[in-house]
């Protein structure tokens, strides 16, 4: 398998891991095995340990003292706020809603890039922005769930906020990812992030009754920590290093498809006309935003 083929495989696996995670994480939380902020501590702490262990066998890279603060700020947006809102949102909404809203990340990144980096937005991209945001708002405001205890409006809002903070994080780390090896960046990101999320979920972590867990529950938690956190952050840099941004952008469409199919199979969600229309709007919008302009500036 050549490097490009492996990069495509890595990118596909990232979408599969994320897609399955919506249902697995929701089962863990909704069955009251682990509350959301405690699960966030397990995700961030477990991934931090694994990345620091891997770094033992990787070439050592010196970090400039001034950049530690930049790592800290990146961890605020990319780990702490981002993951706390994400996991709480997944608890309250459905896998299809959450995974569909997540796909607007390229749209939000474009908006922020135009504001912060002064990047130009074409008329076609403006249309894409409108379509994608309309779809996300439709899901957020009018979405529903068959599960008693879900609060779809609040959950979708949390997922939307998570996407905003993740997009800010992507803008913030552009210089850092160009300067440092991805694993150098990620290990510090998760280390700082762990101490940030610890106060939010410490009490919830103390309430976990590990003795009642079945092997299946342990598998679900390991999947969330090792697969959907460590695995995705491990595979993403491989894909991004070998593939064009436009190729990477296309794969984001797979995430809600995988999440939706798996959630339906697991009886964790259902499909309806609103979800279909909203996803078509979001997919169309993200496609227009992700298209390269043929105009030569």
- 296 backbone dihedrals φ, ψ, rounded to 5°: -95, 120
Q: Where are the domains of the chain?
A: 3-290
For each of the chain's 297 residues, which pLDDT tens digit applies?
567 788 888 888 999 999 999 999 999 999 999 999 999 999 999 999 999 999 899 888 889 999 999 999 999 999 999 999 999 999 999 998 898 888 888 778 778 877 776 667 777 878 888 888 888 888 777 777 777 678 888 999 999 999 999 888 888 887 787 888 888 889 999 999 999 999 999 999 999 999 999 999 999 999 999 999 999 988 887 777 777 665 666 677 788 888 888 998 998 888 888 888 888 888 888 778 766 654 433
Q: Which residue has the tokens 């709007």?
A: 281
Tell how far CA 231 is from the center of its chain: 12
Q: What is the pTM of this model?
A: 0.86
Q: Is 90 helix (H, G, I), strand (E, B) or coil?
A: helix
Kindly report the CA angle at 89 between 278 and 255, in degrees rounded to 5? 50
Q: Is 31 exposed, middle or buried (0-12, 13-18, 19+ CB in 10 A)?
A: exposed
Q: Is 236 exposed, middle or buried (0-12, 13-18, 19+ CB in 10 A)?
A: middle
């Amino acid at each position: 398998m050549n490097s490009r083929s492996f990069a495509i495989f890595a990118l596909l696996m990232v979408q599969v891991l994320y897609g399955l995670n919506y249902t697995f994480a929701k089962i863990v939380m909704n069955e009251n095995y682990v509350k959301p902020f405690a699960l966030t501590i397990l995700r961030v702490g477990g991934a931090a340990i694994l990345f620091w262990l891997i770094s033992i066998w990787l070439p050592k890279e010196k970090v400039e003292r001034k950049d530690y603060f930049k790592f800290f700020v990146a961890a605020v947006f990319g780990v702490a706020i981002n993951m706390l809102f994400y996991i709480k949102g997944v608890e309250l909404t459905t896998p299809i809603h959450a995974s569909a809203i997540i796909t607007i990340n390229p749209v939000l990144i474009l908006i922020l890039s135009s504001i912060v980096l002064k990047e130009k937005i074409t008329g076609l991209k403006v249309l894409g922005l409108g379509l994608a945001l309309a779809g996300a708002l439709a899901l957020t405001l009018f979405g529903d769930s068959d599960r008693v205890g879900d609060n779809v409006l609040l959950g979708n809002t949390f997922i939307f906020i998570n996407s905003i903070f993740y997009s800010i994080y992507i803008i913030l780390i552009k210089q850092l990812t160009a300067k440092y090896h991805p694993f150098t960046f990620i290990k510090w990101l998760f280390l700082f992030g762990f101490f940030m999320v610890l106060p939010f979920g410490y009490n919830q972590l103390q309430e976990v009754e590990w003795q009642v867990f079945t092997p299946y529950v342990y598998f679900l938690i390991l999947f969330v920590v090792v697969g959907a956190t460590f695995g995705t952050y491990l595979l993403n840099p491989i894909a991004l290093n070998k593939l064009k941004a436009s190729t990477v952008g296309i794969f984001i469409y797979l995430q809600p498809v995988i999440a939706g199919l798996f959630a339906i199979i697991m009886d964790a969600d259902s499909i309806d006309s609103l979800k279909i229309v909203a996803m078509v709007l979001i997919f169309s919008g993200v496609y227009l935003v992700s298209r390269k302009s043929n105009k030569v500036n």
